[in-house]
Chain A
Amino acid sequence: MNEDLDRLAAEPVDAEDLRALTALRSIFADSDPVPPGLAERSKFAMTVAALEAEVAQITAASAEAAGVRTTTYDRAQTVTFSSAHLSAMITIELVDGGRARISGWVSADGPTAVELRERSRTQTTETDAEGRFGFPQVERGLVHLLLRRLDLSDSRPVITPAIEI
């Protein structure tokens, strides 16, 4: 028995092993699936850690702004968030072609770089003199905004939780 075991253990993996492992994988994949969103939450935590960023709290989100249904967009969403050092508001408008337009305003009293982190790309812009910024073409999906004060080089960046566009 032990000799059999040693001999089998030293042999290469064969088709029958793969059959057993495939069945085992099916059992565990069905019985104990990875929680949806775990990978996304991990990535967010990694980004926050890597940037030593401060995570902003979402303070208000309105799913529907009244009276904005027009032919160019059918829904507007406003999200307000704040951190210890700044607060900001963004408005998301869905536009034709399944994309969205984001316009926003940052309360910081200095110029701020704004990064929009989409799933597969990052767009950057800066606030104007009134603190406004915009991204005209945004893919639908989960995004994060990353804000950095340009005049304070040693300030921590602020990152928002995932926002569904």
Chain B
Amino acid sequence: MYTDGAAGSHAERAARAFSAYRDGDAEAMSDLVDTTTTLLWHTARGQGLDPAQAEDVVQTTWLLLVQHAPSIHDPQAVLKWLITTARREAWATAKKSRREDVREELGEDVGATPTQSDEPEQVLVRGQEQVVLWKHFATLSERCQQLLRVVAFAERPDYAHVAEALGMPVGSIGPTRGRCLAKLRLALGADPSWDVAS
């Protein structure tokens, strides 16, 4: 949804909704939840969580927003706060479930760090363009895949916001590509079938 809507960026709309909510408008949050849950879902899923875990992370993130609402000083940063929180919660969940897996296998806790789920992801690719894109996307680092997955659902003016929330800041001036997207572009540019696919 890379559109520059008249109502401002997602981050700006989120800021307005959050301010209204804090001023006592309980309904103001409804649209924010509707429009932001997709970003939070892909943030959690990108960290390798299964669907049930990702659902929990999304709901927990919203609950934490309610709890922390009084202490969030800058409403302009609320979108970033949400994505950052979802990422941290997802990371903690992945770490915990990894430990439980190891405990099951070894009967002890060896303090494993989170990694991507071992299960191969079921991906539906339709048409030549998606096939080529997916082939090169799959060669990127996990971090880049996580970032681009969420950025793909973000609006263009929010690119820098989202990247920063995911711990991969891009240039502060304007929506520059950043290294992950640049790597993808290099790969696609070197593949003649990408041009043909358009």
17 more A-B residue pairs beyond the given contacts A11-B182, A26-B130, A42-B37, with a C-beta to C-beta distance below 8 A: A4-B186, A6-B182, A12-B176, A13-B156, A18-B2, A20-B188, A22-B2, A24-B152, A32-B45, A32-B121, A38-B41, A39-B33, A43-B30, A46-B29, A46-B62, A50-B26, A50-B66
For the A-B complex, the count of residue pairs with Cβ-Cβ distances under 8 Å equals 133
Closest 9 CB pairs of A and B: A8-B182, A9-B182, A25-B152, A24-B152, A42-B62, A23-B133, A39-B37, A9-B179, A34-B41
Interface membership of chain B positions 146-177, coded 1 if the CB is closer than 8 angstroms to chain A and 0 otherwise: 00110111001001000000000011001111
Chain A residues 30 to 55 lying within 8 A of chain B, measured CB to CB, are: 30-32, 34-35, 38-39, 41-43, 45-47, 49-50
Residue B129 interfacial (CB < 8 Å): yes
**Please, which residues of chain B bring their CB within 8 A of the CB of A42?**
33, 37, 58-59, 62
Residue B67 interfacial (CB < 8 Å): yes
A100 vs B134: C-alpha distance when bound (angstroms): 49
Residue A96 interfacial (CB < 8 Å): no
**Please, which residues of chain B bring their CB within 8 A of the CB of A13?**
156, 159, 175-177, 181
Residue A71 interfacial (CB < 8 Å): no
- Could you tell me if A11 and B177 are in contact, using CB atoms closer than 8 angstroms? yes
**Please, which residues of chain B bring their CB within 8 A of the CB of A70?**
none
Residue A120 interfacial (CB < 8 Å): yes
- Could you tell me if A17 and B176 are in contact, using CB atoms closer than 8 angstroms? no
A66 vs B66: C-alpha distance when bound (angstroms): 43
Chain A interface, number of residues (Cβ within 8 angstroms)? 43
**Please, which residues of chain B bring their CB within 8 A of the CB of A86?**
none
In the complex, residue of chain B having the shortest beta-carbon distance to the beta carbon of A8: B182
A47 vs B59: C-alpha distance when bound (angstroms): 12
A43 vs B21: C-alpha distance when bound (angstroms): 13
Interface membership of chain A positions 121-150, coded 1 if the CB is closer than 8 angstroms to chain B and 0 otherwise: 110000000000000000000000000000
Residue B125 interfacial (CB < 8 Å): yes
* Interchain CB contact (< 8 A) of A9 among B30, B38, B159, B177: B177
Given A43-B29, A45-B63, A120-B27, the answer on whether A24 and B149 have CB atoms closer than 8 Å is yes
Residue A21 interfacial (CB < 8 Å): yes
- Could you tell me if A28 and B42 are in contact, using CB atoms closer than 8 angstroms? yes
